[in-house]
Structure 1
Amino acid sequence: MASDHRSRQPGDRHGHQFQQAPHARWRGHRSTPVAIVTAIDPIPRDALTGGALLDRPGAVALRYEVDHETAALHRLVLDAGGVIEGERVDLEHPCVSCAMREDAVAVLGRLAADPRIDAILLAPPISADPSVVAGTLVPFQGRWHLSAAAAVLEAQHVIDDLLGDMTLAERGLQWAAEDERSVGEALAAQIEYSDLVIVEGGEGAEGGAAGLELVEHLRSPEQLLLTSMHVLEPRLLLGGALDHTGALRRRDVRHVQAYGGPTEHGTWTLDLASDRPFHPERFLEDIELLGAGRMRGRGRFWVPDRPGTICQWDGAGGQVSIGSVHESGRELPTTRLVITGIDPEDLPRVRDAFDRCLLTQEEWAAGLAPWLGAEDRLSPWLGERDARV
């Protein structure tokens, strides 16, 4: 399943000055735009925010950094001239949502009340999930509002970062000790949530074209993709309103889509779908064949001894997370995995493993009655099932 989704660029901003009145109106109120900027590398993040501050007089950046030795959080407020203020933030619990709720909400309110400030770039800690950041902040909008979410990355590192097997802890990007995510899982979350994706060096840098092609397969048509931060106009970050609901829908396994993209550099996407559930035993036997390798996979599945549960498949760089995420309601759930990879030998292996994991036509024809009271082999990952099953 491949369709050519071209990069959509707004054109060169040089020579064009975008003007926006201070404290734009949002839902009928004077409100300061706040753009969320995420990354897994501080260099492109800082380059983007620094350039935006130069392009937008009156803008400031609110940046959070983690001291990995002490797990302490440091807050910086910067303008085009440098650091305005810096402070250590002590939290009851070191997590992104706590940082946003306990500190950022108050600071955003204070900055938005300053008549000298007409825009804010919020840079949460490196590796932060923008859906968590935005989800925590959305209820507090008013004097300020979320205008966009941008993910910035370097094209020549995309493949290793997204499809490699390193964890955040191994890369030195782990915040809390219990954060066991891979680098690929963190980056995928940033790419798939953000309405603006900037892939620096996608045209010309060694390995950049292949990295850009991979991102094309992962981003939806409504997400704007830029291949250089030099074409980023301030209005793209600060001139709108973040569609948090739409971004969450992109990440919801109930609405997973295969976007496809160019294949010149060998990127492929499989859209694997069936009404049938996975056979629990065969699924456990073949889970490595289904998820190992340099791939990004998302989707949903169900098992016949849990017909009321929609389960999530979330994998990157050979690490896979599964769990119960939704109730299916009156209708039986369906199974759909969208897998994107770059190594041709992985494609037939994944497709065959998917087919083996499904109930056979004969097993499916027997219905769900044989599964009543069956041993729950997936409880270590899915939790204890409903006692009524």
Structure 2
Amino acid sequence: MEERAPLRVVVATGLHRAARRQAVEALLAAVPRSVAVHHGFEEVGEGVVRRSIRDRWGTHDERPIELVHACASCALREDLVPLLRRLAGQNAYELCVVEGWESVDPRAVSTAVAAEESLALAAVVTAVDTGRLVADLSGHDDLVDRGLDIAQDDDRTVAEVLTRQIEYPSALVVAGDRRPEDAVPLLEQLNPAAAVIPLGPGIADIARGAFDPDAAAARANPAWAQYTPCSGGRVATFTWTRTRPLHPERLHDALAEIVAGCLRGRGRIWLASRPDTLLVWDSHSDLLAIESAGPWLASLPEAAAELVPPARRLSARLDWDPAVGDRRQHLAFTGLDLDTERLTALLDSCLLAPGETWPAFQEDPFDQTLGTQ
């Protein structure tokens, strides 16, 4: 018996519904024997998730789905993956486009699809309305403000969700009636690894590839990502790397000024009060999170260092300094009309000065958010 080929799957996401729908329709039109599956969370507050299945000629199945809990993870586990298995078993389609709900993170969906032997994850694509891009990346709306929250405690922001949808995939589809000149450079700098493509028949090419969720997650992880400066028009990505620790009080006092005017900030920092802890910097507009990502490799015994992810070991080798190991500041800020000289001076002013030390009895303003170490 001839072995059945896996069903190719493209995961299509995007906070901008109209742009995402246009991308899905373009895929259905460009790829023969293709079908799209979508789970709608418009009525999730009433405990209802609606699933639709459609092809290039229209919707041929739409129904409410009963789940243990009406949430994205339950829809993925209890309905989407079993449905994809059934579609693969029917051998009626060459491609299935999984169209995500507006605020769904593509990583969980992609990981689940890639784990199935009967499925072949071809690509993850995010469609973006270029006319709304800058406003949404710089805004302060929470998902709940727009009715896009998909869980009871979903406190994510629009900027955070859109950024993650842009930085993770292998392709970014640009759509919308307005095409600001800053949009494409901004997408290219937020995700240099993605192909930025227009709507049209050429979109079929993304369905012929292969997507590795683990590699994509590793590429986007600020604990070991290597950022490079870049500029295009008004858009610039500024990088700052130093091998001296940061003074906690001076940094804390400067945080609001550092993130002001930046659409995106990411990377890792070294605080003088936490010499063994790698801290991840993750900012979306002026919303900033600083969290522990474990120890610096230089603080670990050699045997323990061999247990960390290979991507982190490689990054540490690239960063290695004979005096401080992999400890360093490595931050990247992306925005419009960035004043890089001001940012450089501000960040440098937060470093410990030569000969300056951090006495244990001084107050660490990060204790409340990171925990005393």
User: Does the pair score TM above 0.5?
Assistant: yes
Is 1:256 equivalent to 2:249 in the alignment? no
The correspondence for 1:165, drawn from 140, 156, 167, is 140
For residues 93 and 136 of structure 1, the distance between their equivalents in structure 2, rounded to whole angstroms, comes to: 18
Residues 1:268 and 1:55: Cα distance change in structure 2 (over 3 Å): closer
Structure 1 residue runs without a partner (length 5+): 1-24
Q: Is the 8 A contact 1:167 1:181 kept in 2?
A: yes
8 Å contact 1:63–1:124 — kept in the other structure?
Answer: yes
Distance in structure 2 (CA, Å) of the matches to 1:63 and 1:125: 7
Task: Give the % identical residues.
Answer: 28
Aligned pairs (5 A) from 1:38-117: 38-67=13-42, 69-70=45-46, 72-93=48-69, 95-117=71-93
- State the alpha-carbon separation in 2 of the partners of residues 320 and 80 from structure 1: 42
- Please give the residue correspondences for 1:251-290 in structure 2 after superposition, counting only pairs within 5 Å: 251-264=220-233, 266-290=234-258
Give the letter aligned to residue 350 of structure 2.
C
User: What is the deviation of 1:231?
Assistant: 4.6
Give, as a single letter, the amino acid of the residue that structure 2 aligns with 1:240: G
Q: Structure 2: how far apart are the matches of 1:92 and 1:362?
A: 60
* SS of corresponding position for 1:208: coil
Shift in alpha-carbon separation, 1:91–1:313, aligned structure 2, 3 A: farther
Q: Which runs of 5+ in 2 are unaligned?
A: 301-324
2:158 paired residue number: 183
Change (3 A) 1:79 1:134: same
User: Where do residues 347-366 of structure 1 align in structure 2 (5 Å cutoff)?
Assistant: 347-363=340-356, 366=357
1:91-130 CA-to-partner distances (Å, cap 9, x unmatched) read 4455533332232211111111112122100112112221
**Does residue 1:379 correspond to 2:352, yes or no?**
no
The alpha-carbon distance between structure 1 residues 375 and 294, as it changes in their structure 2 partners (threshold 3 A), is closer
CA distance in 1, matches of 2:328, 2:47: 42
5 Å-filtered alignment, 1:186-201, equals 186-200=161-175
Equivalent AA in structure 2 for residue 146 of structure 1: L
- Give the aligned partner of residue 330 of structure 2: 336
Other-structure match for 1:12: none
Q: Is the counterpart of residue 208 in structure 1 residue 180 in structure 2? A: yes
CA spacing shift, 1:261–1:276, aligned 2, 3 Å? closer
How many residues of Structure 1 are paired with residues of Structure 2 in the alignment?
Answer: 345
Q: Indicate conservation of the 8 Å contact 1:42/1:126, yes or no.
A: yes
- Residues 90 and 380 (structure 1 numbering): CA distance in 2 closer, same or farther, change over 3 Å? farther
In structure 2, give the amino acid aligned to 1:250: R
Residues 21-65 of structure 1: CA deviation (Å, up to 9, x unaligned) = xxxx9xx86200111101001111111111211222321111111
Question: Structure 1 residues 90 and 146, CA, compared in 2 at 3 Å: closer, same or farther?
Answer: same
How does the TM-score come out when normalised to structure 1? 0.81
CA distance in 2, matches of 1:287, 1:133: 34
Q: Contact 1:60–1:79 at 8 Å: present in 2 too? A: yes
Secondary structure of the structure 2 residue equivalent to 1:361: coil
State how far apart, in whole Å, the 2-side matches of 1:169 and 1:357 are: 36
SS in 2 for 1:113: helix
Q: Distance in 2 between matches of 1:71 and 1:168?
A: 18
SS at match of 1:43: helix
Say which of 246, 260, 265 aligns to 2:215: 246
- Residue type of the alignment partner of 1:224: A
Q: Secondary structure at the match of 2:149?
A: coil
Amino acid of the residue matched to residue 210 of structure 1? D
Specify whether residues 354 and 89 from structure 1 end up closer, same or farther in structure 2 by C-alpha distance, changes over 3 A only: farther
1:282-301 aligned at under 5 Å gives the runs 282-301=250-269
Cα 1:332–1:250, aligned 2, differ >3 Å: closer, same or farther? closer
- TM-score, normalised relative to structure 2: 0.84
Partners of 1:271 and 1:356 in 2: CA distance: 16
Task: Provide the C-alpha distance between the structure 2 equivalents of 1:137 and 1:31, rounded to a whole number of angstroms.
Answer: 11
